[in-house]
Amino acid sequence: MIKVQNLVKEFPKKDGSKFYAVNDASFIANDGEIVCLLGVNGAGKTTTMRVLSTVFQPSAGTAEIQGWDIRTHPDKVRENLGFLSGDTGLYNRLRVHEFIRYFGRLYSIGDAEINRRMDEMAELLDMKDFMDKKIEFLSTGMKQKVSIVRSIIHDPPVMIFDEPTSGLDILTARNIVSFIRSCKERGKCVLFSTHIMREAERLADRVVLIHKGKILAEGTLEALREATSQTDLDDIFIHYVNRSNLETEVQAHEF
Amino acid sequence: MNSKKVMIVYRKELMEVLRDKRTLFTTLLLPVILYPLLIVGFNAIMARQTGVLEKKSASVAVQDSVMNPVSMAIIEKLAEVENYTILPAAGNAQSLYENKDIQAIVSISDSLTASGLTTYQVYIQYDTANEQSMTVYSRLKDKLAESKNDLLHEQLELRGVHTDVMEILDVRPIDTASSQRKMGMILGMFLPYIMIIMLLTGASVVAADLVAGEKERKTLETLMVSGVGRLEIVIGKYLTIITLAMLNLVVNLFSISFSMRYMLSQAGMDMSGASLPLKSIFILLAAMLPLATLFSAILLSLSTFSRNMKEARTYEQPLMMVSMIMAMISFLPAIEMSNLMALIPVINIALLFKAVMIEEYQISHLLITIGSTLILDVFAIWATIKLFKTESILFRSDDDSGGVKAIKKNKASFFSPYNGIVYFSIALLLLYYLGSYWQTQDLWQGLLKTQIIIIALPVLLIIRMLKLKSRDVLRLKAPKLLPAALIPFIAIPGAILVAILAQIINAIYPFPEQYLENLTRLFNMDIPIWESFLIVAVAPGVCEELLFRGLFPRFFEKFGVKFSIIITALLFAAFHLDPFRFVPVFLLGLLLGYLTLRSGSIYLSMFSHALNNGLALFFTAFATQPWIKVLISDSDNLHYWVALPAAIVFGIAMYIFHKTTGEKPCVE
């Protein structure tokens, strides 16, 4: 389970002022649920996910992964978290099994257990032919499979996918989508981000709309449709963005 | 820190690095091939060259003004030299010699001694600046020695003396240098240089790959969300670089050692009993280990700072250049290891190396070298860990290269660390060439011109060109009354404390005499005191502050106030081009930087700087007065007890200063 509470992430700008990449964001993702963080490029999706995966420190507020606070227990957070993004790089000079074993060992999993899981995943994802190959000789699709295995080698209860299909061809993207579904079936808590409405519509149980670092709306698609009396997710999104822009203008007038 | 995870990272990085063909080539293959080729090849060319000279034909003009059987015999003897043509010297001999058509002119004359013996004088005219002429000379000399022997023999026999009298004094030199030391002499000259460069090259290829490379290939984020902490990642990578650097070193050392051995045996030097100087190699490895760790830490932090490998390789260049120049010290015959030298990184290793190779090193030098390098090492690795934990640096994406286009678009982008270093380098060059030229012309005018034209004027010009407000950029703001009133109580005791520190340093590592003489010259009055006060205290106070506390901190602000104070203080100390005063000037720089950035007014550091310099002038001016003897001992040093009241006043004044000024003004 992911619990985000009043999360703020600011970056210093050159002129000395602050840029709020994430501004007072709060939302929840439950076990066995797929939650989509939806927003345009630069909305703060990646920053949010980097904070959740302990790459960045939050400026204010906090979040919990499986009950572990990201501020106080980053080690525990990482142990309970699988992270995958669309443009993940791999160590080209390693062989596939070496690569997966490396990450398994970093999670302090025993070699026997790593081998067992690796065999299981290789069977499942049809990777047996290239487990001994060097990664530099793999195709994009093969590499993506290696990344998938890497992200779940420690069988984490929470999965975070940062724009998992960006830059992938249709077939590879489809593998990822079915992988995300299978995570849900196994009762994992899944948070994924995208700027593609269709992907969100197809996969998500709930949607969190993020724009300029702020959470505009959160809920099941039905709830959002009812609230905005729009049927299409595109229109729902635009509805909220317009409203938020309006609010900013009104605020500006008040001052 | 989880050492098990460090080892997992380390083993993986090592495996990956050793699979990289580029790394394998530079660290292992290159040294194995390079040295034998270099040394054997060089050797062969040398041998061939000398052989060619020996066999090369030469023409020698002989002027025989005796023309008797003895002189004829001498000339005949000379003609025995293979390929040499002996010509009777004609009137044009001198011009032939100058045109290098003949390589030597021999003239024979005779004289009569008091005992009635005819003696012969042979003059050989030759050119020591010409290798061929030198060879000709030595061959002629050998032949003449034979002639002399023949003549002596003849004379002794004539007088009925047994010829063994000629062996009455037989001088036989015995070379005590062991083959090891002979080898050490040769190795000690150029080995340190090559080794230090090799160490850097070996480490830099790996370092650039390990962090900047991971950023470029987008694997760093994956690693950081996995089950390993940042500290473990840094240490694991750090160990990898050290391992590769040391591996490179060992391979280099053995390769050089074997090649040199081969060369010496080829040159006919006695190699019996000369084993590889294994003991030396182990001592050197022990001494090189701290340097390897230092280089590795610096390279790792550069790699962490860089966005990609190309950038990392660019940042490595200055480190490479400085180390190369410092390592060249081993080529200088006059410089030897001392306690002071042992404190300076790179130079200490180069000199220690030289000493170890001829088996004349002192254990204290070895220990100081290792100790001082390790201290720097701790700093460097601390900085690397800190960098690795700084998000803005680890995920640097914005373009802040500070090119001309970027400056046109945004004037503030001129103030990048890169431009700061470029500005500093140009100013330093101007100071070194133009400033010292002016000062040799006329010391006082030169000093003043340096301050105004090299240091202050460009600052004002740049502010004008960028159309910035000098009042804001340079912090030309009136200070508050209380902090300003505190400055004398900070600057004067501060200067005294620094002076006493300099005395302590001087007591441990005495300054050279020549240096002290130059320094006194600066304060020796042949002009009115108000004028020297203007030149030594006021001008540097105003001009140097404009540059070092006005302009320079702006270049390094992005690192935070503390860092920008430290960096500008380092530049300030380096700018004085004086290794003996580096530490005192650095401390002064820290104080001045703090005063300006804390209060937001540069006038405070100007005032403080002028007071500091003025104090030195004051002590020199009144050194002969009896009342000053209370403070100063006979050897022109301050009494050590003065430090105590100075420290108390300094401490109290700084405390009040800190309390009454805010941090706000430094961020505008």
Q: What's the pLDDT score for residue B399?
A: 46
Nearest-CA distance A19 → chain B (Å): 13
Tokens of B83: 């390929």
Percentage above 70 pLDDT, chain B: 89
**For range A40-50, the mean pLDDT:** 89
Q: Which residue has the tokens 């390279």?
A: B299
Q: Which residue has the tokens 């209370």?
A: B630
Q: What is the DSSP string of chain A?
A: -EEEEEEEEEEE-TTS-EEEEEEEEEEEE-TT-EEEEE--TTSSHHHHHHHHTTSS--SEEEEEETTEETTT-HHHHHHTEEEEETT----TTSBHHHHHHHHHHHTT--HHHHHHHHHHHHHHHT-GGGTTSBGGGS-HHHHHHHHHHHHHTT--SEEEEESTTTT--HHHHHHHHHHHHHHHHTT-EEEEEES-HHHHHHH-SEEEEEETTEEEEEEEHHHHHHHHT--SHHHHHHHHHHHHHHHHHHHHHH-
Contact (CB<8Å) A55/B668: no
- CA pair distance B301, B231, nearest whole angstrom: 13
B402: left (phi over 0), alpha (psi -120 to 50) or beta: left
Residues 381-410 of B with CB under 8 A from A: 391-392, 395, 400, 410
Q: What's the pLDDT score for residue B465?
A: 86
Nearest CB to A106; choose among B15, B226, B410: B226
Which tens digits make up the pLDDT trace of B6-35?
A: 999 999 999 999 888 888 887 788 878 887
DSSP state of B115: T
Q: Is the pLDDT of residue B274 over 50?
A: no
Which tens digits make up the pLDDT trace of A150-201?
A: 999 999 999 999 988 887 788 888 888 888 999 999 999 999 999 888 888 8
Residues in chain B: 668
Q: Work out how many CB contacts closer than 8 A connect A with B.
A: 76
Q: Is the pLDDT of residue B489 over 90?
A: yes
Average pLDDT value over all residues in chain A: 89
Q: Is the pLDDT of residue B330 over 80?
A: no
- CA pair distance B442, B239, nearest whole angstrom: 54
**For range B136-144, the mean pLDDT:** 90
Residue B486 identity: L
| Highest mean pLDDT out of A117-121, B167-171, B467-471 | A117-121
Q: What's the pLDDT score for residue B36?
A: 79
Q: Is the pLDDT of residue B389 over 90?
A: no
- CA pair distance B124, B103, nearest whole angstrom: 10
| Partners of A85 in beta bridges | A162
Q: What's the pLDDT score for residue B524?
A: 64
**Could you count the other beta carbons within 10 Å of the beta carbon of residue B560?**
13
**For range B564-582, the mean pLDDT:** 88
B301, B383 Cβ separation under 8 angstroms: yes
Nearest CB to B225; choose among A11, A83, A87: A83
B24 vs A: CB within 8 A: no
B230, B389 Cβ separation under 8 angstroms: yes
Q: What is the CA radius of gyration of chain B?
A: 34
Residues in chain A whose Cβ is within 8 Å of chain B: 11-12, 14-16, 50, 53-57, 74-75, 78-79, 81, 83, 85, 87-94, 98, 102-103, 105-108, 147, 150, 154
B269 falls in which pLDDT band (50, 70, 90)? low
Which tens digits make up the pLDDT trace of A56-68?
A: 999 999 999 999 9
In sequence order, the 6+-apart residues with CB closer than 8 A to the CB of A170 are none
DSSP state of B632: B
Q: What is the DSSP string of B46-90?
A: HHHHHHHHHHS-EEEEEEESS-SHHHHHHHHHHHTSTTEEEEE--
Q: What's the pLDDT score for residue B666?
A: 41
Using alpha carbons only, what angle is made at residue B429 by residues B424 and B433, rounded to the nearest 5 degrees? 150
Q: What's the pLDDT score for residue A15?
A: 61
Element (H, E) at B123: strand B118-125
Q: What's the pLDDT score for residue B277?
A: 62
Residues 407-446 of B with CB under 8 A from A: 410, 412-413
Least confident of B274-288, B351-365, B395-409, B455-469: B395-409
Q: What's the pLDDT score for residue B412?
A: 64
Residue B556 identity: F
Q: Hey, what long-range contacts does B393-401 have (CB within 8 A, 24 or more apart)?
A: B393/B304, B393/B305, B394/B215, B394/B220, B394/B304, B395/A55, B396/B305, B396/B307, B397/B307, B400/A14, B400/B558
Q: What's the pLDDT score for residue B401?
A: 44
Q: What's the pLDDT score for residue B652?
A: 93
B665 falls in which pLDDT band (50, 70, 90)? very low
**For range A122-141, the mean pLDDT:** 90
**Could you count the other beta carbons within 10 Å of the beta carbon of residue A102?**
24
Q: Is the pLDDT of residue B400 over 50?
A: no
**For range B382-399, the mean pLDDT:** 77
Distances (CA, A) of B401 to B316, B318, B553: 16, 17, 18
At residue A95, φ and ψ (nearest 5 deg) are: -80, 160
Which tens digits make up the pLDDT trace of B538-553?
A: 999 999 999 999 999 9
B562 vs A: CB within 8 A: no
Least confident of B63-67, B291-295, B518-522: B518-522
Q: What's the pLDDT score for residue B267?
A: 62
**For range A6-24, the mean pLDDT:** 82
B420 falls in which pLDDT band (50, 70, 90)? confident
B9 vs A: CB within 8 A: yes
Q: Is the pLDDT of residue B320 over 50?
A: yes
Nearest-CA distance B520 → chain A (Å): 47
A88, A53 Cβ separation under 8 angstroms: no
Which tens digits make up the pLDDT trace of A78-121?
A: 999 999 987 788 999 999 999 999 999 999 999 999 999 999 98
Q: Is B148 helix (H, G, I), strand (E, B) or coil?
A: helix
Tell me which residue of B193, B439, B220 sits closest to B325, measured CA to CA.
Answer: B193
Nearest CB to B16; choose among A54, A56, A91: A91
Q: Hey, what long-range contacts does B630-639 have (CB within 8 A, 24 or more apart)?
A: B637/B503, B638/B496, B638/B499, B638/B500, B638/B503
| Highest mean pLDDT out of B5-9, B128-132, B334-338 | B5-9
Contacts of B559 in chain A (CB under 8 A): none
Q: Is the pLDDT of residue B270 over 60?
A: no
Contact (CB<8Å) A14/B219: no
B205 falls in which pLDDT band (50, 70, 90)? confident
**For range B132-160, the mean pLDDT:** 89
Tell me which residue of B460, B436, B448, B441 sits closest to B576, measured CA to CA.
Answer: B436
